[in-house]
Every structure is written in structure tokens, then in C-alpha cells.
Chain A
Amino acid sequence: MGIRERMSGNEAVAHAIKQVNPDVMAAFPITPSTEIPQMVSTFIANGEIDTEFIPVESEHSSMSATMGACAAGARAITATSSCGLAFMWEVLYVAASDRLPVVMAVVNRALTGPININCDHSDSMGARDSGWLQIYAETNQEAYDNYIQSFLIAEHPDVRLPMMVCQDGFITSHAVMNIELIEDEKVKNFVGTYNPENYLLNADMPMAIGPYANSPFYMETKMNQRIAMKNAKKVILEVAKEFEKISGRKYGLFEEYKMDDAEYAIVIMGSAAGTTKDAVDALRAEGIKAGMIKIRVFRPFPGEELAAALSKVKAVAILDRAESFSGQGGPVGSELKAALMDAGVSAKAVNYFYGLGGRDYTVGDAEKVYRNLIDMTENGKKLEQFKYIGLRK
């Protein structure tokens, strides 16, 4: 079952695009996601797929063109990173409120200031309130698997929301690793064809998309987006079940690693989860009950489910790969702490930052975080919030 291959995360997503053969891709290149549209244009030039590629002059335009194509009734995609995503900002909100199931591959990279090409989550985290679904990958395999699943999630009649399929810039996008691909025919059947109920090019049902909505309508639109976002949780799990049938791989809203009897937990997203797993194993070998939760779906945020999974730990460290400068923690930390409080979970919770602008995060770094949790819980060490892991002295 499956095809044993090796490729980078960008190649994996491009391969998934080839298998899905979407109707339209509009894109503007930006490191480290550039390879994706580059490879897709090669597939098109070689006649392997018949996707209409729209080269544009900016990301504001790539998102506008993708959105326009999607509104017209096409399965439309794009890819971007960092400042490219920032340049789409205005249009992101329009795609979400117009309920257009655009799928965008985001190869996470730090936002400029100072300029930096390496990984952190500040780009997609900045867009966390735009109304897009967001899903994150630990490996090239997960980037591929998530990408294939995204169409069925975004296009589901109970959801109809755009989706960002995120992976860590360079760390997975440019690292060649083993992967198990799914046969073309199986992917094709899995994603099926996109048949929107309403679309602009439907001559039998002329319509407008994205009209002015003044105060009697705006709030209801937001409520509908919220309901769609809530529905997405169920749909994501249903799609994961179907995906398991063609791949043999299980997915949830998050992954629990050795959490059954865990006393100390790290909650993290993306490639650093793999590194953390090795730390968990090393600590377990010493008899320390360490565990890890990797958030896969950040939008919608699985707050209640995470709180339940953390209800028995003594202490948890929530690790953010993006600053928010609130002084009260990062995006994952703030939301998860609120969820823990709502659920009455009494575990000590700290929120640390790591990996900003590509700062490396090692197995040793993860081990130190667990030892910190132990010191805080067992040895009466003061609870210290918002530390930067691996900061140079």
C-alpha cells in the first residue's frame, strides 16, 4: 500500500497539487514557498495537468485572482509565505466572508522586521482572526496528507471556508525525507470534483458575491462564519476517517504522544513536535512521565478537546513560534490557557516562545522545558512565564 518515495515538503505539496489537478492556480513567488508554483507550472508546461496558471504581479493580486476564480465556480489554489501572506491581508477576510473554499499552501516564514527568510509562525498566526481554517504539519508526509484532505474540508456544505495548509519553511519545505505517496487514482477519487451549489458563471442563477453589507447584515454574516468554523471540527474528523481508508494514516484535531499517564506535557505545533517526541522518549527512559500534544488544527481552535486531554497533567508548557507582543503570551498560549481556565483544569501552565526567525529548537531544548516543569511542580521553583527558549545571553 502506498508508494515509498523521498522528497521535500514543497515537492510533496506540488505532487499533491498534481494529483488533485485543480482548475486554477494564481501565484506570486516568495521564499520558501516559491518551489510550489514553480513545480506546478512545470507540470502544466509538460501537459501533466490542465490547471490554468495565472501569473500575477503581487500577492494581493494572487489572492484576488484565486478568490475570483473560486467565486466563478473553480477549484482554485495559491501558495505563499511571510510578507506575501501579509500582502494578501485585505483579501483574506473577503474570501472568508464570501465563503469561498480557496486552498492555500502556506510555507511558514517569519514576517519581516528585521528581514529573515527562516521559519516561524508569525505569518499565518497574524492571519488567525481572518476567518480561514488553519492546519499545520510536522513532516513532509503530513503536509502532503493535510493538503489532500483540505479540499473536502473547505468545500463541505457545512463549512465553505478558505483553508491554509501550513508547513514549516525550510525545516520541512526544503528537507528531503521519506514519504509514502498515495496512488494518483485514489487521490483523484478521494477529492472528486468540485460542484458548488452557487457560483458566478451559473447562467441559470445569476447572483452577486460580496455585496455591501451594512449594520443590519454584517453581524449575521460573522455569526454564520462562526457556525461554519464550529462545524469544521466535525467535518475535519470525518474527512480524516475517510482519508485513513486510502492511506492507513490516522489524523485528529491534534496528536497525543505518550499522554495516557503523562504528568508533564508540552503543547506545540509543526516540525518541532518531532524533535519534542525524541525528548519525551529520552525522559521516559529516565522514568519521567513526559508527554506531548501536537496541535494539527489551529482554526477552529480545539480548546475544549485540548483541555480534556490536559486535565490530568501536573504541568504543561505551551510553546509558541510567534510573538504577539501582548505581554500575555503568544497565540497558542493565550487561547489554550483561556480554554484550560474555562474547563477548570488546574494544571500549572506556562507559555514559552521558541524558534522565532528560524532559531533552532533541539531535543536538549525540549528536555530543559520538561525539567523546568518538574522544578516548578516538585521543587517549588517560581513559575516563570513567557521565556524565550535558546535566547543568546
Chain B
Amino acid sequence: MKKNIEIRWHGRGGQGAKTAALLLADVAFNTGMYVQGFPEYGPERMGAPITAYNRLSSDEIRVHSNIYEPEFVVVVDETLLHSVDVTSGLSEDGAIIINTAEPKEKIIPLLKGYKGRVYTIDARRISMETLGKYFPNSPMLAAVVKVTGVMEKDVFLAEMEASYRHKFAKKPEVIEGNMRALTMAFEEVQ
């Protein structure tokens, strides 16, 4: 189990990258870790590029700056690959996880020569199949947990189910879909 992880999320306003970062902080907290989950606020509006961050550690976290040399980068919207330097400072021992339906060979040339591991996941298809709507959050979160190894799959799924039962107490019908999205993403990220 890794014990000191820094993650940078790239998304577009309204897609839930910030929420995903906070959810990840939540589940890591529930497994006993020290956590930090925070957004970087610019002129917020739907569709504008946004950044969010996670520090997850077995030790107390004191740093309050943004993350410039992350171990992992998550790209929730692949169109950002053309406009944002997503691999900036990314550790070559780390990995980048991209939400895309494209094969890796088409994505890698957009990563400015990044030599670390590259993972892709089709969060749109998973979300449409399991929820009937485009919410990339849940599949991306599962992909991140798998790639970072921040916690065991079983622990993660149990924590998420408890969290969904709480969050969707009045909409229990969406719990199953979200759980299926997590499981599918866990299997499909590659």
C-alpha cells in the first residue's frame, strides 16, 4: 500500500472533478489516512478548465500549496489534452489516467513525450451504460483507486456503497448503477 500520494485532477467546470477529488479524500479518510482535497479556483464557469488536488498520506499533512510535481494526473476531459499542459511536473515513475474512447496510441502523442505509465478509461460509455447519463465521476474515481493502489478494491467498494447509501438515501435506485460503474471501471482501466 502506498502511503504518500499526490494527485492532480484536470477537468472542466461542471464535470465534477472537484467532487471526485473530495470523494477520494472521503474514502481515503475512511480507511484511516490523513487527507487533503481541494479545488483551485479561477473564474469558475461551466466548461472552463479547472484543477483539483489530493494529498493522501499516512502522516499529518501540513503543506497548503498546489501540487506541481504530482505522482498521478487524472484527465476527466480529453479535450483538455490540446489546451492544458496536463503532464507538467508529472513524475515519470507515476502515471496519467485519461478519460477517452480512443486507443492509447492516439493519446500518447498528445502527452509531450511523457515517459511514465499511461492509462485510459472510457468513462462516458461506462456512465451511459450504467447510469444512462454522463457522470464521469464514479468511473474516474474507481480508475484512480486502481492505478494509484491507494486502497484495496474490496475496501473501496464497501466504502463507496456506504457513501452512496448515505448520499442517495432518497434516490436508492441510482446506487446500483453507480456501484456497477465503479466495478466496470475497475476492470476496464488499462
Contacts and interface: CB of A to CB of B under 8 A. Distances in A.
Interface of A: 6, 117-118, 168, 170-172, 174-178, 271-272, 274-275, 277-278, 358, 360-363
Given A6-B26, A6-B29, A6-B35, A175 B64 contact: yes
Given A6-B25, A6-B26, A275 B63 contact: yes
Contact of B62 (A274, A361, A362): A274
Given A6-B26, A170-B41, A176 B64 contact: no
A274 B64 contact: yes
Contacts of B83: none
B63 A174 contact: no
A176 B61 contact: no
Contacts of A178: 29, 34-35, 60-61
A278 B63 CA distance: 7
Given A6-B25, A6-B26, A6-B29, A175 B65 contact: no
Given A175-B37, A271-B64, A274-B64, 13 more contacts: A117-B41, A171-B64, A174-B39, A174-B41, A176-B25, A177-B35, A177-B61, A272-B64, A274-B62, A274-B63, A275-B64, A361-B65, A363-B63
B22 interface: yes
B36 A177 contact: yes
Contacts of B64: 168, 171-172, 175, 271-272, 274-275
14 contacts: A6-B25, A6-B29, A118-B41, A170-B41, A175-B64, A176-B22, A176-B26, A176-B35, A177-B36, A274-B62, A275-B65, A358-B41, A362-B65, A362-B68
B4 to A, nearest CB: 12
Contacts of B37: 175-176
Contacts of A272: 64
A177 B63 CA distance: 11
Most buried by A among B29, B37, B39, B64: B64
Contacts of A170: 38-39, 41
A372 to B, nearest CB: 19
Contacts of A277: 62
B123 to A, nearest CB: 23
B65 A360 contact: yes
B183 interface: no
A117 B41 CA distance: 8
Most buried by B among A175, A272, A360: A175
Most buried by B among A272, A274, A361: A274
Nearest to B33: A178
Contacts of B148: none
B66 interface: yes
A174 B38 contact: yes
A99 B6 CA distance: 47
Contact of A278 (B35, B38, B41, B62): B62
B173 to A, nearest CB: 25
Nearest to A173: B38
A117 B60 CA distance: 28
Nearest to A169: B41
Contacts of B68: 362
B3 to A, nearest CB: 15
Interface string B119-144: 00000000000000000000000000
Contacts of A358: 41
Contacts of A175: 36-38, 64
A57 to B, nearest CB: 25
Most buried by A among B29, B34, B65, B68: B65
Nearest to A362: B65
A18 B52 CA distance: 29
Contacts of B25: 6, 176
B6 to A, nearest CB: 12
A274 B41 CA distance: 21
B65 to A, nearest CB: 4
Nearest to A271: B64
A239 to B, nearest CB: 25
Contacts of B63: 274-275, 278, 363
A174 B39 CA distance: 8
A360 B66 contact: yes
Nearest to A358: B41
Contacts of A360: 65-66
Contacts of A362: 65-66, 68
A175 B65 CA distance: 11
Contacts of B34: 177-178
A360 B38 CA distance: 14
A271 B61 CA distance: 12
Q: Which 4 A-B pairs rank lowest in CB-CB distance, beginning with the nearest?
A: A175-B38, A274-B62, A271-B64, A362-B65
Interface in B20-63: 22, 25-26, 29, 34-39, 41, 60-63
A229 B66 CA distance: 37
A175 to B, nearest CB: 4
B31 to A, nearest CB: 12
A176 B29 CA distance: 10
Nearest to A363: B63
Nearest to B25: A176
A176 B36 contact: yes
